[in-house]
Copies of this chain bind each other. A is one copy, B any other.
Amino acid sequence: MSQDQLEARRHEILAAARDCFARFGYEGATVRRLEDATGLSRGAIFHHFRDKESLFLAVAEDDAAAMVETVARNGLVQVMRDLLGRAAGNSDGDTAGWLGTQLEVSRRLRTDPQFAKRWAERAAAIADATRDRLQRQRDAGVLRDDVPVEVLTQFLELAYDGLVLHLATGRPPGELSRVLDVVEEAVRRG
């Protein structure tokens, strides 16, 4: 296989594994189910990822990297709006998979100190991207200036965590679009 083919195969495995972890949880996503989801043998899967743990981490890291990029470009509020739009619309497998992975990461953070340690760096990268963008907005004069940027960063993260928990548990979106207006307004200059 060429480098491009290897990369493409890796991406296919990640996408299928994401669905599988979201649907069955980490423990429930057996190697057999991962084979079914990817259409590949365990030998082929674990040629690309050392073991199930590494595969799960790769899925979660892939999601975190995409999120850092979007936050840097559009901010965390826009990430929330996109997420809500996708969850409220025709629920596609990607969004469900992504939400499921987020909750599964949360669960493992709670039950697996080793994983929590490995994950801390990823979480910090998302927080950094959020903080940097807020700082740029503060510099541009559109952000409220009576509350430290760090507090506003953690406020947006709180809202984001709440949104993930709400949507991942399959609750209806309700008035969440207008709730996000309240969130956005709370960080802007009055």
- A residues sitting closer than 8 Å to B (CB atoms) are 25, 27, 100, 103, 106-107, 109-111, 116, 123, 147-148, 150-152, 154-155, 157-166, 168-171, 174-176, 178-179, 182-183, 185-186, 190
Contact = CB atoms under 8 A, between A and B. Distances in A.
A181 B143 CA distance: 17
A169 B109 contact: yes
B103 A110 contact: yes
Contacts of A154: 174-176, 179
Given A106-B103, A110-B100, A116 B166 contact: no
Nearest to A153: B175
Contacts of A123: 171
Nearest to A147: B182
A110 B166 contact: no
Number of copies: 2
Contact of A164 (B25, B107, B116, B165): B165
Nearest to A187: B182
Contacts of A169: 106, 109-110, 116
B165 A179 contact: no
A69 to B, nearest CB: 22
B166 A161 contact: yes
6 contacts: A123-B171, A148-B175, A158-B179, A159-B159, A162-B165, A186-B186
A176 B190 contact: no
B103 A168 contact: no
A63 to B, nearest CB: 16
B182 A106 contact: no
A90 B44 CA distance: 48
A165 B170 contact: no
Contacts of A174: 154
